[in-house]
Structure 1
Amino acid sequence: MKELVQIGQAKIATPSKLTKGVGDVAQFILSAKSMVDLAIENIPQAALPWAGVCVGLQILLNPAKATKANLAGITHVVSRMDWYCALTELLLKEDSIEISNETCGAVLRQLEEKVVALYKALLLYQMKSICSYYRHQGLVFLRGLVNCDDWDADLKNVKDAEETVQGDSDQYNRFHAKFALGQLIEDAKGMEGLLGDIYQTLREFASLQKEMQLDDIDRQCRWDLRVIDPKDDMKKIEIKKDKLVTQACKWIFDTDQYVAFTRWSEGQPNRGPCRLLKIKGFSGQGKTMLLIGIIRELESQQDLCTPGITYFFYQGTDATLNKATTALRSLIWMLLVEQPHLISHLRKKYTDSGPALFQDRNAFFALCEAFQRSAPVPYVFYGRCPDECDPTKPGREEFIQLMAISLTLTDKVKWLVSSRREVDVLAKLQVLDTDSLHISQNLVDLDTQIQAEHVDAYIDHKLTVLTGKRGYDKSVMAEVSKEVRGRGRYTFLWVSLAFKVLEACPGRYAVRRIRDMPSGLAAIYDHMMKRIENSMEIDPQDCKRVLVGATLAFRPLSLSELAILTGMPLDITATAVDLCDSFLITRDETVLLFHQSGKDYLQENFASRLQPAGAAQGHAEIGRRSIEAMSSVLKRNIYELDYDSELKDMSTPCLDPLAPISYACVFWADHLCCLNGQSPEYERALADDGAVHKGKHR
């Protein structure tokens, strides 16, 4: 269309100039009309012809005006046509407008109708102009004389259509912008909700990461806090000792003290508080096994209404298990295993200090603080035999003080303890201002009257084990029963030692052996030592070396470790342990002291029964043999590992070359320290050219 317009304009270029020239002449003459009118104003004869000339000039001016109006109009129309073609692509292109509202769609359709009307006006003007260009110009001139085409009116129609489109489009755009803004606000709200969800997710993720980090810290804290698992230790004690038959410990469940102790609910009439139960008795009366029976009973009754149970067994025969700090670490460890949230009372100090929190000289007091903060949790704590606790501070006194503080701090904690008669825990607690707890009413005293029936039940059980063995007929069994019941004096340990003698004794000599055994633990230990000294199977001194090693060692020893400390072959060491079965017992290749009372006897009679030079000489010999063993066994890369091996890939060989000297590697210096620097061997070993110095540089 634009090309046709251009060709048509070129075709009429000359006629247009002529028409414009005629128009210019007519316009020039008409411009002088006022002067002519003034000149002929008084000449009537000239006025009429002049009026006709003016009318004619006006008519001659019309074609020029029409041509001029057409040229101006077609220029406007063509330029606007290009503009609206480009604009319509954006204004009405559906791909660029998201029509999600029916009203918007209806308005857009109406706007489209207005744009179509505009296009019609624009095209009509152009087509009319093209037709005019291709007519005979004389005819065009004549049409111009009478103003037949009226180009101004046509241009006005175009401009009116433009104004309509512009006004409607502005209105539509305002409406659409408002709608789009509302939609944008809705989308923004949705995005805000989505961002909120993302933020919450990120917070939860950060919280989870923090919890995972705390879980790692808490897990490491429990690992570093752990010394032993008291549950496993209780199983070991049960295996080590003769397990009491049910009848031997069932009686305590019917005592008033136990019934009051296990009453968890408050508010019962005529019932005072009972938060401490103490079992008191002589050595060998079965306190430990009785308390294990109580713990088993309490564990079997645990439910949502009863407290948790945590416990620790002091063991004077093991230097690693007779410390107050070790006991407290174990009690707290069991508490955290069952109540993990309580680790919050320990976490900050552990984060600041690491494993040193449980190992330095103030570990007991730091743990006491955490223990007291967690005290409101309902729990039964059991401490076996505080009398076996090392008195070195912090020791027995500090542990009893902790018990007293926890009892006065909250009514949700109960303590179950046992001790020998010579250690009066109740008196110490009363001194520590716990009189209001009526603790004196919560004592179970294992006197002979209480024990008689239960020791008899234990004897009946042991007699059934002998039934059927060589020489143990009814008459022999009756004599053995009579002698044991008459001489046992209601002591489980004496009965256990007596039947241990009978295990390897034919029935023919059983009664004689029992009669040879004196009453009382001290006397029977003297009797057992005489048997060892009169042994003909191996040299009695070898048995005494084994007893020295087991008594002075800071922890239970394996057979191979004991052989190193005694300087004897492994087979001789094993035989000596068997001959000392009244003092020693072997469990899973580990040599254990049979009972604390046996260790007490050996320590009290060390010089007279084991080594005249005394315990210091025994420590010196153990220290010397430890250094010699380390010097002969230790070497660089003893496991022959690759130098690029990682720790996770390392494992202990089946035949571990370090196993026999593991005790020596850890405790050699402890034995030398027991000499207080008074032994020449001590000084020689630690000299610059001594065995210790040489061993360090192997």
Structure 2
Amino acid sequence: MAFGYLACNWEEAASHLAPNKHIPATPSTSSLPLTAAPATGSTDVETSASQLPLAPATRSINIETSTPQPPATPATSSADRETSAGANDTTTSLPARLWKRAYNELKQEEVKLVDAYEKILSRQLQNGSNSMVLESQPNIIAQNNSDRRRQMIQLINPGLAKTEREAKVKESCGEVIDVVLSVKNIISAAIQAVPQAAFAWTGICIALEIFINPIKATKANREGIDYVVKRMKWYWSLSNSLLKDPTNNISKPSGMKGQLENHIVSLYKALLSYQIKSVCAYYRNPGLVFLRDMITLDDWKADLRAIQDAEKRFNTDAQTYTTWKGTSHLEQLVSYAMSEKDQKCLEHLHLTDPRDDKVRIEQTKGGLLQDSYRWVLNNADFQQWHDDLQHRLLWIKGDPGKGKTMLLCGIINELDQGNARHCNVAYFFCQATDSRINNATAVLRGLIYLLIEQQPSVLSHVRKEYDRAGENLFKDANTWVALSKIFTNILQDSSLQTTYLIIDALDECVEDRSQLLDLIAQQSSSSSRVKWIVSSRNWPQIEEQLEIATANLKVSLELNVESVAAAVNAFILHKVNQLERLKKYNLTTKKVVQDYLRSNAQDTFLWVALVCQALAGPEFKKWNTEEILRKFPPGLDALYARMKQNISLSHHSDLCKRVLAVAAIVRRPISLQELTTLGEMPNIICDDLESLEEIIRLCDSFLTIRERTIYFVHQSAKNFLLGNASDKAGNQASQETFKWIFPSGKEDVNYTIFLKSLDAMSTTLRRDIYNLRAPGFPTNKVQVPDPDPLVTVRYSCVYWVDHLCDSVSGTNTKRHNPLRNEKVVHIFLETKYLYWLEALSLLQAMPAGVVAIRKLEGLLVSTSLTPH
């Protein structure tokens, strides 16, 4: 069988057998131990092989700008000129320039290797043929100005698919050979008495030892290429954030930053070399590949170790660089261009950094899979929005769980990766479960903050109003009016660069959504330099207001069934592959899980994610997977009903019910420490955060934890618990769940949170709680003690009055009348009022205290009560 691989052109083999150079090591200097690359989901390696052929007609969206692009580099350009151009190109993103520089340097160092790769790519560009590439194949890459990085992935993916059957055959053969070699000593001892047999057996063993090399090489390469592609994506994103210059200075970097760029280029070269060698192996004559592997000419494991060694050196250098920088994004802006007043203004504007929200959302959802959003880049409406100056608003709409948020995350990544220095990309993620980011004012603050980060000159529009009103500009009753004016002035500024504005989940903007929609419709029709993408559920009221915008476009997920289904199937494949590795599925079990998910997902990413999360639990074993799988019904609401049933039948149902009730009522995601204050937790676990995390996990996929903060897995999960199912079929189960969690209504839970908040604050708050010993100490310079004495009452300090108001509204007003019967509020204000104000100041939430007092006063008036 193995000798069939040797039927190749031996003259060709002789010309290729010279060993390739090993991957160049990164120079060892001092460099940043970064955290390991996040589990961003699947790599591009899982992309469908149908992406090839790479015909010249294949459309690659240029995200940089809508203006015409310069002509391709002339064919006469030398490698040296290419390298120089790559280093000084100011029209592409930093990661793209570093990648191009690394490719061109590798082309000079590994001439034969890169030439062989470019011939393979040339053949694919010409006719998409998967046949063997001959020496006579012309190299046309010098005349081609395509996206080489994407083309490389488009060669790797089909190459892996092309060799998949061969790899499986080799794997099966390897298992047989391993079995034979494992009993080699036993057989050798048994046939010692027969010289002829012993001689033959020795020859067989030698042959098997030789033939096992190609099998091991194939396995090592397929494992290595998966690692390498993931790391290339990771360092691509890392270089953009690590080396970004907040002043938009495009001059050649010097000093430590210049050295770090050189180090990351060396690392890029190592990663590129591995990928290029892999492509050459995939498209080389199979017999030649087998021969090279027999004599271990391509040592994939050694190449991978060299990459990992280079990574360690780079990480050390990067840590040194970060320590040297020693400032946040905000401080960088200040140190380069901003006055002290500018800094104050930006600090007061800052409510949340949407970039951090994006990272949190992606990680909470298990990482961003490229195959889940790539389809939209080829969608006709998306392309028209991108290319046509007249179409400036794109509305992406779809039902819950259809992947709208991750779709926008992918689009943002594409815009950022193709983002030239003269383009801005600002975005905001609304989340109804978090009061900080569920209102129209927060949306404008987030967008303006990111615009200032990318183009600091627009801060002048904020300063005009800030110098007049001070900090109250962002916190008083007129904030929306003032910010709308500022935002409009920024968008109409003649110096504003080409700008993309993206807002996700408009349906989760629960305060002043109508005003925000009017602003979007108006502004998207007024400036040709600004383009908008918004997403939401299929709500008629949102559609009605967006219809006012001229020449708007829509992408309906329900009308793109085939594309969404293909994306969901790719997501299913990715999740099942993870389960296969975790649970050691055999091929039969893997196929059963995959088929069931495909049959019942109803094109809903969230449903797939929740089922796979459940299957990954320790209680589900490989042998009972098929039986358990049938218990997950199709449809989100039906799945939520099943999850609720599981909780109600467990030994910990009462505890889980309390946690779910608090999570559904609170006005922002709370930490585990805050849960011990607000929820009725057993004393034995209040100081045991690990036990608290276990309780959250018992809530059977309704909740998730990120950095010890509790979030709902999706807004639809919270809606289901509150009796507001996403479809009519789930209404009855949703109402039953609401009654189970809130048997006496939400007022009882609000009342409990209010009482426990007052009790905790009365116990915790005291004078000078941070031991500052200076009454006039600036709050922005306060160093939070470790441990923080306010950690358990942060939420209570800000929101206790809200829960009081909610507890006396509705049917329970007479039953819960704290202002008249228990005097708890009067006692708290009499004994802890100043300490409460101090805590609010330290938490930079004093405006919330002013609002709380006004609400308390309003409650007194509305209920005709007076404290005694």
Q: 1:261 aligns with which of 351, 374, 385?
A: 385
For residues 33-91 of structure 1, give each alpha carbon's deviation from its aligned partner in whole angstroms, at most 9, with x where no partner exists: xxxxxxxxxxxxxxxxxxxxxxxxxxxxxxxxxxxxxxxxxxxxxxxxxxxxxxxxxxx
Q: Is 1:309–1:380's contact at 8 Å kept on the other side of the alignment?
A: yes
For 2:798 and 2:566, the matched residues in 1 are separated by 47
Per-residue CA deviation, residues 460-512 of structure 1 (Å, 9 max, x unaligned), is 00111111444622211111111111111111000000001101111122222
- 2:392 is the alignment partner of 1:275: yes
Aligned to 2:857: none
- 1:558 has 2:682 as partner: no
Q: Measure, in 2, the Cα distance between the counterparts of 1:359 and 1:322.
A: 15
- Looking at structure 2, the residues matched to 632 and 422 of structure 1 have their Cα atoms a distance apart, in angstroms, of 46
Find the residue that maps to 2:785 and give its secondary structure. Answer: coil
Q: 1:364 to 1:415 in 2, by over 3 A?
A: same
**Distance between the aligned counterparts of 1:642 and 1:356, measured in 2?**
27
Give the letter for the 2:802 counterpart.
D
Query: Does the CA contact (< 8 Å) of 1:620 and 1:681 recur in 2?
Result: no
Question: Which is greater in Rg?
Answer: 1
Consecutive unaligned residues of structure 2, counting only runs of 5 or more, are: 1-334, 724-734, 836-868
Deviation (angstroms), 1:687:
5.5
**CA gap 1:649/1:452 in 2 versus in 1, 3 angstroms:** closer
The reply on whether 1:682 has 2:818 as its aligned counterpart is yes
Q: Who is 1:513 aligned against?
A: 628
The normalised TM-score by structure 1 is 0.64
- 1:607/1:615 contact within 8 Å kept: no
1:426 to 543, 546, 561: 543
Task: Measure, in 1, the Cα distance between the counterparts of 2:834 and 2:444.
Answer: 39
Structure-to-structure mapping, 1:563-602, within 5 angstroms: 563-568=676-681, 569-570=685-686, 571=688, 573-602=692-721
In the other structure, the counterpart of 1:652 is 784
1:383-424, Cα deviation, whole Å (9 max, x unpaired): 11110011x4xx111000000111222222211011111355
Asked whether the equivalents of residues 394 and 553 of structure 2 are also in contact (C-alpha less than 8 Å), the reply is: no
8 Å CA contact 2:818–2:825 kept in 1: the answer is no
**Does 2:491 align with 1:375?**
yes
Change (3 A) 1:613 1:517: same
2:533 is the counterpart of 1:409: no
Give the Cα–Cα distance (whole angstroms) in 1 for the partners of residues 458 and 763 of structure 2. 49
Are residues 688 and 565 of structure 1, via their aligned partners in 2, closer, same or farther at CA, if it must alter by over 3 Å? Answer: closer
Q: Aligned-pair distance for 1:623?
A: 0.7
Equivalents in 2 of 1:509, 1:688: separation in Å? 55
Task: Map Cα deviations across residues 169-218 of structure 1 (whole Å, 9 max, x no partner).
Answer: xxxxxxxxxxxxxxxxxxxxxxxxxxxxxxxxxxxxxxxxxx99983322
- Indicate how the Cα distance of structure 1 residues 691 and 650 shifts in structure 2: closer, same or farther if over 3 A, else same: closer
Partner of 1:67: none
Equivalent residue, structure 1, for 2:578: 465
> Among residues 524, 531, 551, which one is paired with 2:646 in the alignment?
531
Separation in 1, partners of 2:477, 2:774: 37
CA drift at 1:646: 5.3
- Report the counterpart of residue 477 of structure 1 in structure 2: 590
In the alignment, which of 347, 356, 364 is matched to residue 223 of structure 1? 347
Whether contact under 8 Å (2:427, 2:503) holds in the other structure is yes
Candidates 762, 782, 790, aligned match of 1:631: 762
Identity of aligned residues (%): 32
C-alpha separation between the residues in 1 aligned to 2:782 and 2:393? 49
Note the C-alpha offset of 1:308: 1.2
Question: 2: CA distance between counterparts of 1:561 and 1:427?
Answer: 41
Structure with greater proportional helix content: 1
Amino acid at match of 2:791: A
| Letter paired with 1:696 | Y
Using the size of structure 2 for normalisation, the TM-score is 0.52
Quick check: 1:687–1:693 contact (8 Å CA) kept in 2? no
Aligned to 2:481: 365
On the 8 A contact 2:808/2:817 being kept in 1, the answer is no
Q: Residue 612 of structure 1 aligns with which residue?
A: 743
Are residues 649 and 289 of structure 1, via their aligned partners in 2, closer, same or farther at CA, if it must alter by over 3 Å? closer
Q: How far, CA to CA, are the matches of 1:374 and 1:316 in structure 2?
A: 27
Give the match for residue 128 of structure 1: none
CA distance in 1, matches of 2:830, 2:345: 36
Q: What amino acid is aligned across from residue 506 of structure 1 in structure 2? A: K
Tell which deviates more after alignment, 315-324 or 374-383. 374-383
Give the root-mean-square deviation of aligned CA atoms. Answer: 2.5
Contact kept in structure 2, 1:471 and 1:507, CA below 8 Å: yes
Residue of 297, 312, 318 corresponding to 2:414: 297
Superposed, 1:326-405 pairs within 5 Å as: 326-376=442-492, 377=496, 378-390=498-510, 392=511, 395-405=512-522
Q: For residue 341 of structure 2, give the secondary structure of its aligned residue in structure 1.
A: helix
Structure 1 unaligned spans of 5+: 1-210, 267-272
Cα shift at 1:682: 3.2
Higher RCO, Cα 8 Å, sep 6+: 2
Q: 2 CA distance for matches of 1:697 and 1:380?
A: 46
Report if aligned partners of 1:386, 1:418 keep a CA contact under 8 Å in 2.
yes
Corresponding residue number in structure 2 for 1:672: 804
Q: Which amino acid aligns with 2:369?
A: V
Is the contact made by 1:548 and 1:610 (CA closer than 8 Å) also made in structure 2?
Answer: yes
SS at structure 2 position matched to 1:659: coil
Judge which range, 662-671 or 212-221, deviates more: 212-221
Distance 1:468 1:414, change over 3 A: closer
1:621 equivalent in structure 2 = 752
User: How far apart are 1:575 and its partner, in Å?
Assistant: 2.7
Distance in 2 (CA, whole Å) between partners of 1:688 and 1:608 is 29
Is 568-577 or 637-646 further displaced after alignment? 637-646
**Contact 1:277-1:443 within 8 A present in 2 as well:** no
**Letter of the aligned partner of 1:238 in structure 2?**
E
- Taking a change above 3 Å as real, the CA distance of residues 426 and 646 of structure 1, as seen in their structure-2 partners, is closer
Looking at structure 1, the residues matched to 834 and 427 of structure 2 have their Cα atoms a distance apart, in angstroms, of 44
Alpha-carbon distance in 2 for matches of 1:245, 1:429: 30
